[in-house]
């Protein structure tokens, strides 16, 4: 694996891959890598003959009082993980490489509407920071395909919309959530959980699965199912930001004829904010 930390060096390595006839897949990360990231890189290898990964903790997607300074940074561990995953090139830029004029005057890329809904309503500016960074990274890497986990379903969909709107020649692939044996979605922020909270955390996924079953099997109205899920989570000690059922294709409110749905949730457990989602389909 070749590690580069400048735009010039990245472009040189990408050029070499292109000259050797390689199709390139890109996996952007913020580091502190776990088995979910490894799965993304393995999936990337299915779509391309070379894999470029990035590690960059993007300040633009953290709001005031959020965990930018304390976000876990584990470079030695990450290098081992990336080597084991067979990554060809790692891009680890400094802020001056990502935002050479400074992040305060960086040109922003934003998907209107959806960026301010769901998680965006509770983290103002978060998704603008995500799409700005991902757009810049994809313009630097120029991949044929980019791979994202669907654990953050809203982020994955926003990146798909951004890519289509800007006409970027990149295929966006979504990969299903990787979970612990007890159902907890893998996340770097799981490290924030205390041992006691870690025992409770899988109940977020259980609550979403129950909502799915109540709607699919029992025909419960969506609003009632959402309310019941919030009550379930509160009883388990969570502080839900939201539990919402939306249309899979665009995360808009489902109409009567919509059958492909997803329930999304964000909830606090102690000082840790967890997100998860479950896709499901109604019978015609």
Q: Annotated active-site positions, please?
A: 37
The Cα–Cα gap between 270 and 66 comes to 14
235 contacts: CB under 8 Å, gap ≥ 6: none
Radius of gyration in angstroms for the set of CA atoms belonging to the chain, rounded to a whole number: 19
The Cα–Cα gap between 240 and 245 comes to 14
The Cα–Cα gap between 51 and 17 comes to 10
Select from 44, 39, 30, 45 the least CA-distant residue to 147. Answer: 44
The Cα–Cα gap between 139 and 134 comes to 8
Annotate 20-49 with b (16+ C-beta within 10 A) or e (fewer): eebebbbbbbbbbbbebbbbbbebbbebbe
Structure tokens belonging to residue 254: 């489902």
In whole angstroms, what separates CA 54 from the centre of its chain?
A: 14
């Amino acid at each position: 694996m070749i590690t580069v930390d400048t735009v010039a060096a990245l472009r040189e390595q990408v050029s070499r891959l292109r000259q050797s006839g390689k199709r390139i897949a890109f996996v952007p990360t913020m580091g502190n890598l776990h088995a979910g990231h490894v799965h993304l890189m393995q999936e990337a290898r299915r779509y391309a003959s070379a894999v470029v990964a990035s590690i960059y903790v993007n300040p633009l997607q953290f709001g005031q009082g959020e965990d930018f300074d304390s976000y876990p940074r584990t470079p030695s561990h990450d290098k081992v993980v990336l080597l084991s995953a067979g990554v060809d090139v790692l891009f680890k830029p400094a802020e001056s490489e990502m935002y050479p004029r400074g992040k305060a005057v960086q040109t922003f890329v934003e998907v209107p509407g959806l960026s301010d809904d769901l998680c965006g309503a509770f983290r103002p500016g978060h998704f603008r920071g995500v799409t700005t960074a991902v757009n810049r990274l994809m313009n630097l890497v120029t991949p044929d395909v980019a791979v994202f986990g669907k654990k953050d379903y809203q982020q994955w969909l926003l990146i798909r919309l951004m890519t289509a709107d800007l006409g970027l020649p990149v295929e966006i692939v979504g990969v299903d959530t990787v979970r612990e044996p007890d159902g907890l979605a893998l996340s770097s922020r799981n490290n924030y959980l205390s041992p006691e909270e870690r025992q409770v955390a899988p109940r977020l996924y259980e609550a979403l699965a129950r909502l799915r079953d109540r709607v699919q099997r029992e025909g419960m109205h969506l609003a009632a199912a959402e309310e019941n899920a919030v009550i379930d989570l509160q009883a388990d000690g969570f502080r839900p930001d939201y539990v919402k059922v939306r249309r899979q294709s665009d995360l808009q409110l489902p109409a009567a004829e919509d059958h492909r749905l997803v329930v999304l949730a964000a909830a606090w457990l102690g000082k840790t904010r967890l997100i998860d989602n479950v896709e499901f389909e109604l019978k015609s």
